A and B are shown apart, each in its own frame.
Chain A
Amino acid sequence: MTRRDSMLAKIADLDAEHAKAVAGGGEKYVERHHARGKLMPRERIELLIDPGSAFLELSPLAGWGSDFTVGASVVTGIGVIEGVECMITANDPSVKGGASNPWTVKKIFRASQIAEENRLPTVALVESGGADLPTQKEIFIPGGRLFRDITRSSAAKVPTIALVFGNSTAGGAYVPGMSDYTVMVKDQAKVFLGGPPLVKMATGEESDDESLGGAEMHARTSGLADYLAVDEHDALRIGRRIVARLNRQQPGSCDVSAGSGDASATSRRFAEPEVDPDDLLDLIPTDLKEPFDPRQVIAHLADGVSADNGVVFDEFKPLYGGSLVTGWARIHGHQVGILANAQGVLFSEEAQKATQFIQLANQIDVPLLFLHNTTGYMVGKEYEQGGIIKHGAMMINAVSNSTVPHISIIMGASYGAGNYGMNGRAYDPRFLFTWPSAKSAVMGPAQLAGVLSIVARAASEAKGRVYDEAADAGMREFIEASVEEQSLPHFLSGMLYDDGVIDPRDTRTILGICLSVITANQPVKGTDRFGVFRM
């Protein structure tokens, strides 16, 4: 199997998993929803965002491998509305009425975090039956943050908008309640703290849905709804008009009158890479033990040579610490510093080189891109004595305290402390995406099984017992298989340990969108202080 075939097979798997998320609650529920004249969450989003603009869906595999539907009954992503990049969240009412399960909550928290870090206005397309009651213990207490995040966003002058398409009751009522702007769809939105049965039980009052929480009532009587939409399309139209009036539109960067041809001002500003993005598929080895040259990946991701981009990639310290490639490039016109593993292992030189490079990026206020393919920091007597811990710690110190935005792409291996040093999930990169070829764990599955075997054999021998080789083989096989499975992208993405598994050929586009989002609403500002560097 060629590298290309292998990668294409993985991409086909990925597409199949994405299709599950798109299918939502399944044909029957989607049909029922459509029959009511209602739109599916992605249909709502397609109408909400600007025609022809991109939509970067986040965490589409949330809940993968769990008992819940892939995608966790909510769609989140970054879209452009009236020229403004927004965080959009949309409940999927075809999945158990849009009820939130623990993965839903985690996914929305992640979307809120991205919105907060990048100062993105949020538009919530609300239609949720509330919490998935059997899992309420995992939702109720942490879930309160949801409402806290909305108002904190508002306090930070980042607008929040709720378009209510259906149920938004009990706790869910606070989503429109906390938002800056609220639109409710006539005859569909239902927003109350307690429904008629609960009211009857609590106070004996007879009531109905409309008088307790109908859109007309909220628009005309309670004032909770700022706008009454006649239907779903109208709600989306109003939502777009609200965003258009947030005073956040970037000035038109190119004054190209329509119809004047293809040569837009922007396409003159930077050039597409000279290499065919499709060739990326030939680059990534099927077996991650086989190293590959990240410079070739960079050639696919970075802007090509143009009038004001004389060189595609200016490598920094090319003769030192050759297992890590560092240097400067531009992506969609944004300068980035890139750290990319070349030979898997990080030695002291690489750690020190990375530390210096991260400091340099902070000095000049340039975002950093980490391209992972690392098996971790070198072990062994020579390296321990050479201070590999000290140097690894310096790199982790630099990564942790750097304040320029970071983006991580896990291309291949991301093992051990290498994952930390290369800005893994715990180090809060603004965005982290994974290629289908990636694997991430404390160490490789075979190594982990082998380590466990050695440890067990030692324990057995210490107790004077004969080591059961057959059981050991079985144990190793089982461990290896389960670690293998748990280090695969779908599994990790399902756990929300990344922002999505992506087709490698889309990486440049995704980085371009991320860099646009990162730089749109606030300046890039590097730190002038790090933790104590142990020299």
Chain B
Amino acid sequence: MSGLTIQRLLVANRGEIARRVFATCRRLGIETVAVHSDPDAGLPFVREADFAVLLPGSTPGETYLRGDLVIDAARRAGADAIHPGYGFLSENAAFARDVRAAGLIWIGPDPESIESMGSKIEAKLLMAAAGVPVLANLTATEVTEADLPLLVKASAGGGGRGMRIVRTLESVADEVAKAEAEAASAFGDGTVFLEPFVEHGRHVEVQVWGDHEANIAVLGERDCSLQRRHQKVIEEAPAPGLPQSVVAALHEAARSAAEAIRYVGAGTVEFLYDPARESFWFLEMNTRLQVEHPVTEAVTGVDLVELQLLAADPGSGGWTMMLRTDRPDGHAIEARLYAEDPGADYQPQSGLLETFDIPGVSVEFGALVGPGLRLDSGFESGNEVGTHYDAMIAKLISWAPTRELAARRLAGALSRARLHGLTTNRDLLVASLRHDAFLSGEVSTDFFTLHPEVLGSAVSDPVPAAFAAAVMLAEQDRLVRRVQHAAPVAWRNVVSQPQRTVFEHDESEIAVEWYGGRTGYSHATRADIAVVEASAGSVVLEVDGVRTRFDGVRSSADHGAARELFVDGGLHSLRLRERPRFVDPADVVAQGSLLAPMPGTVIGVPLEVGAAVTAGQPVLVLEAMKMQHTITAPTDGVLTEVAVVVGQQVSAGEVLAVVSIESDDQEESAAEGDVR
């Protein structure tokens, strides 16, 4: 093995993948360069890089997708190689050529390989010719009832965008049109194609690696079936429950695929697997590093980024394949932690990540030695999760000798994690990892449709946590008293009623009734709960004889009157907003107001003030987190106010428009607005 020649590498990406590549660079003695947008300036990947170059602007189009600026940044920072990470420019053949033309080392396959796999339609033809099984290609005009259900996919796609399932013939044209629009907006290429849709199929993919001497190594397979909105959520290696013959056939098919295009570097061949028929079909080949690459690293012991560097670096040309590919060691599972609300159709969340703390992490961005947890995170406590990019906060990877142990460890760490400030999919991940179907290997891409219960994994008994929160707030009040500092909290010589603290939690309301006084805190109705210790930041409760500690952190976003507390304890995490005792009538929002569900940009206002609307009719279109969100009229009525214009940036909760029930009852509805 000869040495690497790369001295200074620029990562044309952000967040966790930039940090991941930097970690390997540091281990190999390579200097690192980050590029970053304006909103990303405060993220760890920028700080960790030896050098950082600003790409002015916020949107990917202004920043991470600007190949010219990235190459210019590399030149200015003295980099001699560019790693594209995943997404953004990672599968852009033109960019790869430009990088090479600029005299820089491109960490990725040849542009020709990218191109041949870039079009899914072309790729399928190529693979069919190489003897790899593929699904039939259909066209919108030719499909018949017998072909249903169908899947519409963007040819240039990835990450599930532009992908739609069609179950009726009537909706084919409509869905194709929508997919085309989404593909055009997401990838700049509106080409879509149709395939038969395999019910309860699994997503199984094979990691391959090719060197300059045309050796193809197969580094095992991964199962990435647990997906929501066509985006992977939980991935693992090896794929559970596959017959040995299928595994062998998959590996062989992947090898054929890579060989067919003389692939150099790390790549992934994705297959759709039908467990009922034990057969599989080629889906696509990703000519880049995958998000879920750590699970392969955990069971093979290789560093895939290092392999990428080796494959790309001319100095390592004589490198000989010495990869062990026979069988995986143990089992690894990765969970992707997203800032999103699974209960609200996975709506992406943005805002301040106040606390990000996962207990028991053995290593970050590196190889696991023995059973443990690996964390690949793009964020730290105090970072802002913005609206411009993917909502993934971190990946947590667990390795153990058996699949069940890996799942348990991962679920345990996630459930104990302190994640404050943003709604995440943590509960969904934990519930999935603990679900019987998952544990028995019954995974499929429609897992969340088949097991909707994992979405509703609410806290079974929120009363103790809410009571603990009420006690913490009372202790905080006690500390800021101006007089009578030593009087017991809520002391009364004549007790007439309990104290009442009301919290908003998710959409619901939790009221806690409690007593204070000489003997300390007690819950008004739950005799099984006793307070053992109380302070402004933590409370120890005894619930039916079992002690549990609750820790509370005040949100930095609260404004005194409506205090917000993140409470962790009893393996749960709650975000509780205190409902103020009083609301100034002047602050009450008029009835019928349409509020922005999240920060974003107004991209369409189809109606004029005064227009009659029916319930459910679109009133406004908002773009946030790369998705369009239609704001609809809550009731029949008249659009009496539009508070925003197209192009305007709005924050969550901002009034966008007002729909009044009846046009000539405007005064009445305004008066109703006064009443709480």
Residues of A bordering B, CB below 8 Å: 18, 21-22, 40, 42-43, 46-47, 50-57, 60, 80, 83-85, 230-231, 233-234, 236-237, 240, 249-254, 256, 258-262, 264, 266-267, 270, 272, 277, 332-333, 500, 502-503, 505-506, 509-510, 512-513, 516, 520
Contact = CB atoms under 8 A, between A and B. Distances in A.
29 contacts: A43-B496, A46-B499, A51-B474, A52-B474, A52-B499, A54-B487, A60-B493, A80-B482, A80-B483, A83-B481, A84-B482, A230-B674, A230-B675, A237-B581, A240-B582, A250-B482, A252-B480, A252-B482, A253-B482, A254-B485, A259-B554, A261-B537, A264-B485, A267-B485, A277-B518, A332-B486, A509-B487, A512-B484, A512-B487
Contact of A234 (B486, B554, B582): B582
Contact of B493 (A85, A252, A267, A506): A506
A54 B518 contact: no
A261 B487 contact: no
Contacts of A50: 477, 481
Contacts of A52: 474, 477-478, 489-490, 499, 516
Contacts of A53: 477, 481, 484, 487, 490
Nearest to B485: A266
A29 to B, nearest CB: 16
B302 interface: no
Contacts of B484: 53-54, 80, 85, 512-513, 516
Contacts of A502: 493
A85 B552 CA distance: 30
* B482, B495, B516 pick with most chain A CB within 10 angstroms: B482
Nearest to B551: A259
Contacts of B493: 56-57, 60, 500, 502-503, 506, 510
B488 A54 contact: yes
A332 B485 contact: yes
A250 B481 CA distance: 10
A505 B584 CA distance: 40
A509 B488 contact: yes
Contact of B518 (A51, A84, A505): A505
* B474, B484, B490 pick with most chain A CB within 10 angstroms: B484
Contacts of A21: 494
Interface of B: 473-497, 499, 516, 518, 534-537, 552-554, 581-585, 674-676
Nearest to A47: B581
Contacts of A237: 581-582, 584
A237 B585 CA distance: 10
B479 A55 contact: no
A83 to B, nearest CB: 3
Given A52-B516, A237-B584, A252-B480, A22 B675 contact: no
Given A256-B480, A262-B534, 19 more contacts: A22-B496, A42-B497, A51-B477, A52-B478, A52-B489, A54-B484, A54-B490, A80-B481, A85-B483, A230-B585, A237-B584, A258-B476, A262-B535, A262-B536, A264-B478, A267-B486, A503-B493, A506-B518, A513-B484
Given A54-B492, A264-B479, A258 B518 contact: no
A261 B476 CA distance: 9
A261 B486 contact: no
Nearest to A236: B582
* B475, B496, B535 pick with most chain A CB within 10 angstroms: B496
Contacts of B497: 42-43, 46
A338 B288 CA distance: 84
A83 B478 CA distance: 11
Contacts of B518: 277, 503, 505-506, 509
Nearest to A510: B493
Contacts of B487: 53-54, 509, 512-513
Contact of A54 (B476, B491, B496, B554): B491
